[in-house]
Amino acid sequence: MAKTAITPTRAEDYPEWFQQVVRAADMAETSAVRGCIVIKPWGYRLWENMQRSLDDMFKATGHQNAYFPLFIPMSFLEKEAEHVEGFAKECAVVTHHRLEPDPDGGLRPAGKLEEPLIVRPTSETIIGATYSKWVQSYRDLPILINQWANVVRWEMRTRMFLRTAEFLWQEGHTVHATADEAVEETERMIDVYADFAENWMAMPVIVGSKTDSERFPGAVETLSIEAMMQDRKALQAGTSHFLGQNFSKAQEIKFQSETGDIQYAWTTSWGVSTRLVGALVMTHSDDDGLVLPPRLAPTQIVIQPIYKGDDQRGQILQYVNELRDQIAAQKYDNQPIRVEIDDRDIRGGEKKWYHVKRGVPIRLEVGPKDMAAGSVFVGRRDQPKSTGMDKAEFIAKVSDLLAQIQKGLFERALAMRNDNTVTIDNEADFRSFFTPANAKNPEIHGGFAKCHYASEADLAELLKELKVTPRCIPRGDNHPGKCFLTGKPADHYAIFAKSY
């Protein structure tokens, strides 16, 4: 077997492979706080690129950024029963406001709060309370606001970027005068997420509605984007919720209409998180480490000078500095290309694998022979072999090369999803599809199953047994049929999968 930079491989132990890719790329590490992680500079630079791109898209659709409190009075959550039930087991609660010395020389909580405060698990209630003061008339609508923040949902079994007690995200919260406007906003924002996932992350997604059991607590409808990871499990990469008037009634968000009567507003919320970083890792990476789409890569091109002695060093560095400036003068994705020189005093092979494991899309090696020939040695992260190339030709084609890598990553991920998506119309095939050959050490198996169903209640026992969930009811091409389990008439099919 060929030696790989990451052990175990995807086929040997996919969950551990993921953790090792994150560590090898120096993206994050576990912290002293159980359930929380430290996002290191390379991982945070990737999140910043996601954040900037999404923020531009939000502003292009008329939204503004604001910030709301981290702490939420417990009484606010109690006003929306279904919402609090959905989050109750995940809430971190603050009950005291100071510390004092204890008799044993340590510290103990003191100053009990009159009302406990919940550390933000999501902000519908606290933002709704604010909006109730802002909204008085139809002239105050719509309100289109986004918040970049951290949230806490108590989680002790950490998986970096996928499931942590604290994570970073954005949450949009909007208020509208009519149901139609709110539904339009809900659909607009899931389309923004789908656009970002496919055209920035190079990650194909299915857009659809959540089933009743998977819907956001308190929502009338939840739309999601669902992606297939390389272990064929689904990952919910973003959601957009039509909240109807549920939260406006709980938080008294009312306005005087054009006809003078008092009406409750219609609201939405939508969000994505640093879970997208985990999705990116699992969509594209291989057994040698991280693979990044150029549009989001913190560094798109790294130049590695190769020389012996100070005489060669001066000449080579002059050459690569000029090369860096020439590349940086080119544009990809309407921005200057992000290019760096790695002149650290370490072995060439070690330096190469450092950047391979970090997923840099293009590596350039430049030694005395390359300088003399006016060429560069080009390594693409999406291809196993490196090749020599005329320097002027590389500079002229560099934007096209990056675009080619971006497109190729999407097409490869889409082909993988298509190869592992099936239509199933009976229980036996459903069981076979989602049952591993090795029960004790399950191999990668399953995928996306398109199945008609009449009632989630009919499926509950089977889905629990196989650890499968309905991911979404796909938008667009859905059509009626017969339930794969009961044979009852079904209005639509859903995507079923094992999931994160």
pLDDT at 1: 61
- Lowest-confidence range among 306-315, 357-366, 462-471? 306-315
**CATH code, domain carrying 317:** 3.40.50.800
Same domain, 135 and 250: yes
With a cut of 80, say whether residue 80 has pLDDT above it: no
Residue 376 in contact with residue 389, Cβ under 8 Å? yes
Please identify, among 235, 256, 284, the residue that sits at the C-terminal boundary of a domain. Answer: 284
Same domain, 202 and 176: yes
In a domain, 205, yes or no: yes
Secondary structure element (H or E) that encloses residue 48, with its range? helix 41-60
Strand partners, 382: none
pLDDT at 158: 82
Same domain, 228 and 150: yes
In a domain, 33, yes or no: yes
Same domain, 309 and 257: no
Closest CA to 302 of 366, 384, 390, 368: 366
In a domain, 5, yes or no: no
Same domain, 312 and 440: no
Same domain, 47 and 135: yes
End-to-end CA distance of the chain: 30
Same domain, 455 and 369: no
E-strand ranges in 185-265 read 206-209, 221-228, 234-244, 254-256, 262-264
Please identify, among 232, 255, 284, the residue that sits at the C-terminal boundary of a domain. Answer: 284
pLDDT at 155: 82
Which tokens hold the place of 89?
């087991």
**CATH code, domain carrying 213:** 3.30.930.10
In a domain, 193, yes or no: yes
With a cut of 80, say whether residue 2 has pLDDT above it: no
Please identify, among 386, 401, 416, the residue that sits at the C-terminal boundary of a domain. Answer: 401
In a domain, 396, yes or no: yes
Closest CA to 204 of 417, 408, 405: 417
Same domain, 164 and 23: yes
Same domain, 255 and 386: no
CA distance 69 to 236: 27
Hey, how many other C-beta atoms are within 10 angstroms of the C-beta on 67? 9
Number of folded domains that form the chain = 3
pLDDT: which is higher, 78 or 187? 187
Give residue 467's domain range: 424-498
Q: What is 161-199 written as a DSSP string?
A: TTB-SEEEEEEEEEEESSHHHHHHHHHHHHHHHHHHHHH
Same domain, 266 and 315: no
Indicate the average pLDDT of the chain. 96
In a domain, 220, yes or no: yes
Residue 294 in contact with residue 361, Cβ under 8 Å? yes
pLDDT at 35: 92
Hey, how many other C-beta atoms are within 10 angstroms of the C-beta on 411? 12
Q: What is the pLDDT of residues 394-436, one digit of tens each?
A: 999 999 999 999 999 999 999 999 999 999 999 999 999 999 9
Q: What is 84-99 written as a DSSP string?
A: HHHHGGG-EEEEEEEE
Whether a cis peptide bond, with omega within 30° of 0, leads into 41 is no
In a domain, 374, yes or no: yes
Residue 2 in contact with residue 335, Cβ under 8 Å? no
Same domain, 221 and 253: yes
Hey, how many other C-beta atoms are within 10 angstroms of the C-beta on 443? 11
Q: What is the pLDDT of residues 57-74, one digit of tens each?
A: 999 999 999 999 999 999
With a cut of 70, say whether residue 284 has pLDDT above it: yes
**CATH code, domain carrying 440:** 3.30.110.30
Same domain, 395 and 325: yes
In a domain, 99, yes or no: no
Residues 267, 273, 275, 277: is their CA dihedral positive or negative? Answer: positive
Whether a cis peptide bond, with omega within 30° of 0, leads into 368 is no
pLDDT at 67: 98
